Amino acid sequence: MKSINLKLKNNPYPIIFSNNDKDLIKSFKSFVPEKKVFVISDSNVAPLYLKKIEGFLKKEKFIVQAYVFKAGEQSKNLKTLSDIYNYALKVGVDRKFTVVALGGGVVGDTAGFFAATYMRGIKLVQVPTSLLAMVDSSVGGKTGVNVEGGKNIAGAFYQPKFVYINTDFLKTLDCQNIKNGMGEIVKYAVTFSKDFYNKLNKIFDKAVVTQKDFDEIVYQCCKFKADIVKRDEKEVSGVRELLNFGHTFAHALETITEYKKFFHGEAVAIGMLFVANLAEKIKFCTEKTKNEIYKIVENAGFCAKLGLKKTDTKKLLELMKKDKKSISKTVRFVLPKQTGKAVFGVEIKDNIILKTIEDFLK
């Protein structure tokens, strides 16, 4: 068993890495002494893992309630949340219960927001089962749901008591889900570390990425994330914006294509290529850096050919301006300075963004 301590001033907590179920039980026994849990999961994950985890906990005399909702981003909304509140009330979930988010990013965000708000807040544990949730969304306390007007608009910063990562869960993931996580993994390399960039390229060059490789990758990404969250838990100083490398363009692209053309990891990969182009255009980085970013994105299995010629470029710009991270009328970007080093809060004028989008999508 390995762990990383996320040293927050008010809510420090461990990210525990283990593929041994005994460690899962040990963690629950020490962090949930009330022995009452409310597991929230989805229709993909629950059939695979819910019974098993329920069984472990019941054997240790835990009271277990569970709620399962339909898998998918479409479920991450206020209706699902309202259904969970009502179900929890009906089955007697009280303030002594701990919510267990068992699933990928959608489950983690929804269950996390439920925990943050139910009876003014009850304890939360994150048990991520997707690569994306392991390397990103389960760590750092961002919770929330989508509303008609936008993604993650209703939400709260709400930290778990611990995060439990078992990479055995990755064995049941399909290719699309692995790629969703890959987008974020590449993001850490390009944003934070040339060493990690080199290491990832070596791993991607191999015929098979093994579970041991994934163990190392997931651990390293959590280290990057924990370090940033410790420095800027609520995205006040701006450092946490670094985790949004490539995301401003990605979110606009996902919205304009109505979440049908790209899955999130792909959109992030394309978003990273876009900021590489933008940074090169304003001479913020060299062509070499841009090419290095292209190299790792393609090496990770993403295609840099877009097929987006007919996209409404002005609309893309408008969508970027609506991003939560834009605080003035100018869009703020995280831009690469060199591979392994990015800078947040770079404001770019509309005409330059527009020209870059046009050239990028040609």
Task: Tell me the catalytic residues.
Answer: 120, 142, 184, 225, 235, 240, 244, 247, 251, 264
Of the listed pieces 25-33, 134-142, 153-161, 289-297, which binds ligand GLY according to CB under 6 A? Answer: 134-142
The footprint of ligand GLY on this chain (CB under 6 A) covers a number of residues equal to 5
- Residue nearest ligand GLY (C-beta atom): 243
CB of 235 to ligand GLY, least distance (A): 7
Q: Which of 32, 124, 190, 243 binds ligand GLY (CB under 6 A)?
A: 243
Residue 161 interacts with ligand GLY (CB under 6 A)? no
The smaller minimum CB distance to ligand GLY, of residues 42 and 136, is found at: 136
Judged by beta carbon, residue 136 or residue 280, the one nearer ligand GLY is 136
* Residue 134 beta carbon to ligand GLY: minimum distance, rounded to whole angstroms: 13
Instruction: Rule CB under 6 A: say whether 240 interacts with ligand GLY.
Output: yes
Question: Measured from the CB atom, is 140 or 265 closer to ligand GLY?
Answer: 140
By beta-carbon proximity to ligand GLY, the closer residue of 76 and 240 is 240
Binds ligand GLY (CB under 6 A): choice among 104, 140, 144, 183: 140
Read off the tokens for 107.
């489950």
CB of 130 to ligand GLY, least distance (A): 14
Among 42, 54, 109, 136, binds ligand GLY (CB under 6 A): 136
Residue pointed to by tokens 């303030």: 95
Does residue 183 interact with ligand GLY by CB under 6 A? no
Q: Of residues 36, 76, 142, 325, which one binds ligand GLY by CB under 6 A? A: 142
Which residues lie near ligand GLY (CB under 6 A)? Answer: 136, 140, 142, 240, 243
